[in-house]
Chains A and B, each alone.
Chain A
Amino acid sequence: MEKEGDAKPKNTAPRLCCVCNHRRPALKRPKTLDQICRECFYEVFEEEIHQVIVENQLFKPGERVAIGASGGKDSTVLAYVLSKLNRQHQYGLDLFLLSIDEGITGYRDDSLETVKRNEIQYGLPLKVVSYKDLYGWTMDEIVKIIGLKNNCTFCGVFRRQALDRGAAMLKVDKVATGHNADDIAETVLLNILRGDIARLSRCTAITTGEDGPIPRCKPFKFHLLQIPNCILTYAYFKRLDYFSTECIYSPNAYRGFAREFIKDLERIRPRAILDIIKSGEDFRISTTTKMPEQGTCERCGYISSQKWCKACVLLEGLNRGLPKLGIGRSRGLNIERKKDVKENNLTESIESKQCGTLDF
């Protein structure tokens, strides 16, 4: 956007991009205070993601990879960048979009429309799995019964499993999610606040679940090294088609508070986010801490450290008209095995983002 010559430039600092030394800068990198233009920003951003993928060996040639797509900015940028890098650097990946339809009128139906447009725009096949099909209930129906208090427990537990089931249907080797450094730092803080040591180091790992059915990876784990809000900036400058409304059932104040705290810290010290992630990584679990054993759910076969997986417990409650079952302290069905694993299921949803944003 050139404005009447350079008569009244808004920039008081050097006026050319420090990378190409040619175009007008649009952004500042807080680490170096370098100013860069839009085109160079795209390149730096994409190159950074490429480096993360290569250095961490996130993918192998020939793999089938599902991108967890919520229609939000993170997963939309991930789908766009990943398909671009896949072409540009010949990763040899078969990419898919995988969306979960929780059955939330006025929210998920709208965001799914966005994902359907992305399917066409990026030429990536889309698979949608719905709570209704998997569990027989939509979130709208669940909320009608249980109200707005514990609905995110249902949403989070069901989503986690729905993603694995969708991935299995697509026969993919891996799922990539749009979790970014903000999300991970937020999860580290929440896990510290809840004293959940077991999850603390796991939630920072760039790839998780390698022992489970389908590993998940987060290519955006490191992105903030360059520019805060870079994913958002990328989405905006590229005019990517994304959806940005909060889940109507999710005020989720606790998590929102952690998010705001992190953004406050970042304003004072941009490195704070990466430092929090680092502290999470550096937490070592002492040998006396008992880690829950992984088994499988007797009812549905999903991984579970207890007799029944959390989703089955919640479903049983819904179907028997006892929706409180499985919420809060585990009681009843799992009582005999709850001794050293009692914390496990309760925290299942903490790793997810705000309810409804399709993160895992």
Chain B
Amino acid sequence: MQLTLEFGGGLELLCESKKIHKVNVETQKGVEKLTMKDLLTWVRTNLIKERPEMFMKGDTVRPGVLVLVNDCDWELSGQLNTTLEEKDVVVFISTLHGG
């Protein structure tokens, strides 16, 4: 599944200072669906190169990280249960870095 991921507010520093990542995320065999929960696991394994604790806490993002799916707060789409589709744009921005 082709997705565009954007990291900001300092989170880009965890993935080689690159803000925008065009990625292809494999869904599990036989499953067409990809949820935000799956994506977070994928990002943590494949994109985050350092200090993963700045990005995640438990199985979700660290408090203070804003998540937008297609420019909508993921609170509206069910957070971890949000189902992603081809060409979706997911944005992660940290509010913890300096103001």
Binding site for B on A (CB under 8 A): 1, 3, 8, 10-13, 24-28, 30, 35, 38, 70, 72-75, 178, 180, 182-183, 229, 231-233, 236-237, 244-247, 256, 259-260, 263-264, 266-267, 353-354, 356-357, 359
Q: Is the Cβ of B98 less than 8 Å from the Cβ of A70?
A: yes
Q: Tell me the bound Cα distance from A236 to B64 in angstroms.
A: 14
Complex interface residues of chain B between 42 and 98 (CB less than 8 A to chain A):
62-64, 66, 68-73, 75-78, 82-83, 85, 89, 91, 93-98
Which listed residue, A11, A70, A72, A233, touches B76 by the CB 8 Å rule?
A11
Are A359 and B13 interface neighbours, CB within 8 A? no
Q: Across the interface, do A10 and B63 meet the contact criterion of CB distance under 8 Å?
A: no
Return chain A residues, CB-CB under 8 Å to B69: 10
- Name, among A236, A256, A264, the residue most crowded by chain B CB atoms within 10 Å (CB to CB): A236
User: Are A178 and B73 also in contact (CB < 8 A) when A10-B83, A232-B66 are?
Assistant: no
Minimal beta-carbon separation of A39 from chain B (angstroms): 13
Can you add 9 more A-B contacts, CB < 8 Å, to A244-B97, A259-B96, A263-B96? Answer: A3-B70, A11-B72, A27-B73, A70-B98, A229-B66, A231-B99, A232-B95, A244-B98, A246-B97
Most A C-beta atoms less than 10 A away, residue of B13, B89, B93: B93
Given the interface pairs A10-B76, A259-B64, the reply to whether A73 lies near B10 with Cβ below 8 Å is no
Between A and B, 18 residue pairs with Cβ closer than 8 Å are A8-B85, A12-B78, A26-B73, A70-B99, A73-B99, A74-B99, A75-B99, A178-B99, A180-B99, A183-B99, A229-B66, A236-B66, A244-B94, A245-B98, A263-B95, A264-B63, A266-B63, A353-B99
Say whether, besides A1-B71, A263-B64, A13 and B99 are in contact (CB < 8 Å).
Answer: no
Bound together, the chains give a CA A359 to CA B99 distance in angstroms of 8
Whether A263 contacts B63 in the complex (CB less than 8 A), given A1-B71, A10-B70, A11-B77, comes out as yes
Q: Are A256 and B76 in contact (CB under 8 A)?
A: no
Contact of A26 among B9, B72, B93 (CB under 8 A): B72
Tell me, in angstroms, the Cα distance from A70 to B94 when the chains sit together: 17
CB B16 to nearest CB in A, in angstroms, measures 14
Bound form: Cα–Cα A359–B98 in Å: 10
Cα distance A26–B70 when bound, in Å?
A: 9
Give chain B's interface residue range (CB within 8 Å of chain A).
20 to 34
Residues B99 and A25 in contact, CB atoms below 8 Å apart: no
CA distance A38 to B85 in the complex (A): 22
Contacts of A72 in B (CB 8 A): 98-99
Q: Which residue of B lies closest to A359 (CB)?
A: B99
Given A236-B93, A245-B10, A267-B63, A357:B99 Cβ within 8 A: yes
Residues on A with beta carbons closer than 8 Å to the beta carbon of B73:
26-28, 233
User: CB-CB < 8 A to A30: which residues of B?
Assistant: 75
Asked if B64 contacts A260 (CB within 8 A), the reply is: yes
Inter-chain CA distance A247–B9, complex, in Å, is 13
* Distance of A225 Cα from B45 Cα, bound (Å): 36
The 8 closest A-B pairs by CB, nearest first: A357-B98, A263-B63, A74-B99, A10-B77, A263-B64, A72-B99, A28-B75, A267-B63
CA distance A30 to B68 in the complex (A): 16
- How many Å lie between the Cα of A247 and that of B99 in the bound state? 11
Q: With a CB–CB cut-off of 8 A, which chain B residues contact A38?
A: 71
A233 and B93 alpha carbons, distance in the complex (Å): 9
Q: Measured between alpha carbons, how far is A259 from B91 in the docked complex, in Å?
A: 22
Set of chain B residues within 8 Å of A70, measured between Cβ atoms? 98-99
Chain A residues within an 8 Å CB radius of B10: 244-246
Residue on B nearest A41 in the bound complex, by CB: B73
- A195 CA / B85 CA spacing, docked (Å): 52
Question: Which residues of chain A come closer than 8 Å to B13, judged between CB atoms?
Answer: 245
Question: In the complex where A10-B77, A260-B64, A263-B63 touch, is A237 in contact with B97 (Cβ < 8 A)?
Answer: no
Which of B64, B89, B96, B97 makes the CB contact (< 8 A) with A245? Answer: B97
